[in-house]
Amino acid sequence: MIPSTPTISFLPNNPFPFQAQALGDPSVTIEEVTPPVFPSGSLFPVEERIVQLFEKNTYSVVNIFDVTLRPQLNAGGVEIPEGNGSGVVWDGQGHIVTNYHVIGNALSKNPSPGQVVARVNILASEGVQKNFEGKLIGADRAKDLAVLKVEASEDLIRPIKVGQSSSLRVGQQCLAIGNPFGFDHTLTVGVISGLNRDIFSQTGVTIGGGVQTDAAINPGNSGGPLMDSKGNLIGINTAIFTQTGTSAGVGFAIPSSTVLKIVPQLIQFGKVVRAGLNVEIAPDLVANQLNVRNGALILLVPGNSLAAKAGLLPTTRGFAGNIMLGDIIVAVDNKSVKSKAELYKVWDDYNVGDKVVLKILRGSEYVELPVVLEEKSL
């Protein structure tokens, strides 16, 4: 039988249990202990500007998750997809830009163009999330970018405005909108804390010109926009430097200059038409084992390539079994090349058909060779 009067007992070593007493101070009234509430008034101009930027641009940010992964519960009991991420509305045709790694599990199964690889939640004007199928248009693993397409009504499609990352300055304000840990449309504010950072993609290729920010970026922010104080897209949030898996105040975004070069090609061709040499470059580890500490060592040169016609030499094995090093590219048009990653980074500045002058180390001599660049697959 439950006692009518609740009691509290001490631990066994205290022999004096007592009856619980009501707490409070009956000598005061509710009115006497209720402080005055002051109206919040108008926001400061800087606050109002940030609020307006968020309210205007949040409709251009979508929630994306990989259809091949199952939802999980986070520490707060909120269900989030394992492949949860963000994206931006690119144009009025329903193209959505995100990171390759956000839908990487679905892409690893080699889906055909037009196949559904993600679910995309778009925020409607009434504040309701509307769900759409995200069909694959194209993806570039090297630059960690992917383009999806949704069939949504015109009133839901609100393209983001794209700005110039080339004019950014360290110290200027920036804003990030995304879906960290599954919490949709979250705003964080910070500054540009570094420029021209190297971001290493999952293929080992360096994404140059990365924008560093201290705006909090966490899992789920990937693929979302980094914006300047005018609300223009200056980067796609893609990585954090962390030892705990959460924001440590150092986040990185793919600059809008790179996004502008990659995304239109993905939409038109489904892939990136990348300039380069149709030669095989030794991985840095292999090059180091062969005592090549500076430059990009050529391993193979296909016989029908423009590189072969230009006279580039591959690495070979002599009659005695000794390795004879091929040409080592140390510069392209006077741009220094210290590794394979740097060579691929240099190619980003060129188009198919461009003629460049390679400075190569051949044996103990330096040679300059003019070469026409061709389409190169990574």
- Note the pLDDT of residue 321: 81
Q: How far, CA to CA in Å, does 244 sit from each of 23, 85, 88, 204?
A: 44, 19, 27, 22
- Note the pLDDT of residue 207: 83
Look up 222 and say whether it is catalytic.
Answer: yes
- Read off the pLDDT band of 9 (50, 70, 90): very low
C-alpha 263/C-alpha 89 separation (Å) is: 12
Q: How far, CA to CA in Å, does 100 sit from each of 89, 149, 378?
A: 16, 14, 15
- Read off the pLDDT band of 282 (50, 70, 90): very high
The residue written with tokens 């940030």 in the block is 50
How does pLDDT run across 176-200, given as a tens digit for each residue?
Answer: 999 888 788 999 999 999 999 988 7
How does pLDDT run across 74-101, given as a tens digit for each residue?
Answer: 544 444 445 689 999 999 999 999 999 8
Cβ neighbours of residue 27 closer than 8 Å, sequence gap 6 or more? none
- Note the pLDDT of residue 369: 96
Task: Say if residue 225's pLDDT is above 90.
Answer: yes
H helix intervals, the chain: 45-57, 104-107, 256-269, 284-289, 306-310, 340-347
Q: Which of 335, 330, 318, 320 is nearest to 287 (CA)?
A: 330
- Note the pLDDT of residue 78: 44
Structure tokens at 269: 């061709």
Q: Which of 140, 144, 184, 228 is catalytic?
A: 144
Q: Which of 201, 198, 171, 184 is nearest to 131 (CA)?
A: 184
The residue written with tokens 């230009």 in the block is 310
- Note the pLDDT of residue 7: 41
Among residues of the chain, what percentage have pLDDT more than 70? 86
- Read off the pLDDT band of 257 (50, 70, 90): very high
DSSP states along 151-170: ---GGG--PPPB--GGG--T
Q: Which of 100, 71, 53 is nearest to 215 (CA)?
A: 53
How does pLDDT run across 362-377, given as a tens digit for each residue?
Answer: 999 999 999 999 998 6
Over residues 169-174, mean pLDDT: 97
- Note the pLDDT of residue 202: 57
How does pLDDT run across 25-63, given as a tens digit for each residue?
Answer: 888 999 989 999 999 889 999 999 999 999 999 999 999
* pTM tops 0.85: no
Q: How far, CA to CA in Å, does 203 sit from each of 64, 144, 240, 330?
A: 22, 9, 17, 22
The residue written with tokens 């200056």 in the block is 234
Lowest mean pLDDT among 48-52, 98-102, 237-241, 271-275: 237-241
The dihedral region occupied by 311, where left means phi > 0, alpha psi between -120 and 50, and beta the remainder, is: left
- Angle 141-144-150 from CA coordinates, rounded to 5°: 95
Look up 101 and say whether it is catalytic.
Answer: yes
Structure tokens at 69: 């992964």
How does pLDDT run across 331-366, given as a tens digit for each residue?
Answer: 999 999 999 988 988 998 899 999 999 999 999 999
Q: Which of 222, 256, 257, 339 is catalytic?
A: 222
- Note the pLDDT of residue 2: 39
Task: Say if residue 171's pLDDT is above 90.
Answer: yes
Task: Say if residue 241's pLDDT is above 80.
Answer: no
Q: Is the dihedral of CA 89, 224, 178, 69 positive or negative?
A: positive
- Angle 300-301-306 from CA coordinates, rounded to 5°: 160
113 has which bridge partners?
Answer: none
C-alpha 138/C-alpha 250 separation (Å) is: 29
- Read off the pLDDT band of 10 (50, 70, 90): very low
Q: Which of 189, 152, 164 is nearest to 62 (CA)?
A: 152
DSSP structural state of residue 256: H
Structural domains of the chain in order of their starting residue, each with its CATH number? 47-156 (2.40.10.10), 165-269 (2.40.10.10), 275-375 (2.30.42.10)
Task: Say if residue 239's pLDDT is above 80.
Answer: no
Q: Is the dihedral of CA 178, 150, 235, 333 positive or negative?
A: positive
- Note the pLDDT of residue 189: 95
- Note the pLDDT of residue 371: 95
Look up 184 and say whether it is catalytic.
Answer: no
Q: Three-class SS of residue 86?
A: strand
Strand pairing class (335-336; 355-362) = unpaired
Per residue, the 3-state secondary structure of 8-44, as one string, reads ECCCCCCCCCEECCCCCCCCCCCCCCCCCCCCCCCCC
- Note the pLDDT of residue 81: 45
Q: Three-class SS of residue 16?
A: coil
Helices (H) then strands (E): counts for the chain: 6, 26
**How high is the mean pLDDT of the chain?**
87
Among residues of the chain, what percentage have pLDDT more than 90? 66
How does pLDDT run across 120-134, given as a tens digit for each residue?
Answer: 999 998 889 999 999
Q: Give the type of residue at 336.
A: S
Summarize the chain as % helix, strand, coil (round to 5). 20, 35, 45
Q: Give the type of residue at 269.
A: F
86 has which bridge partners?
Answer: 63
How does pLDDT run across 312-321, given as a tens digit for each residue?
Answer: 999 998 888 8
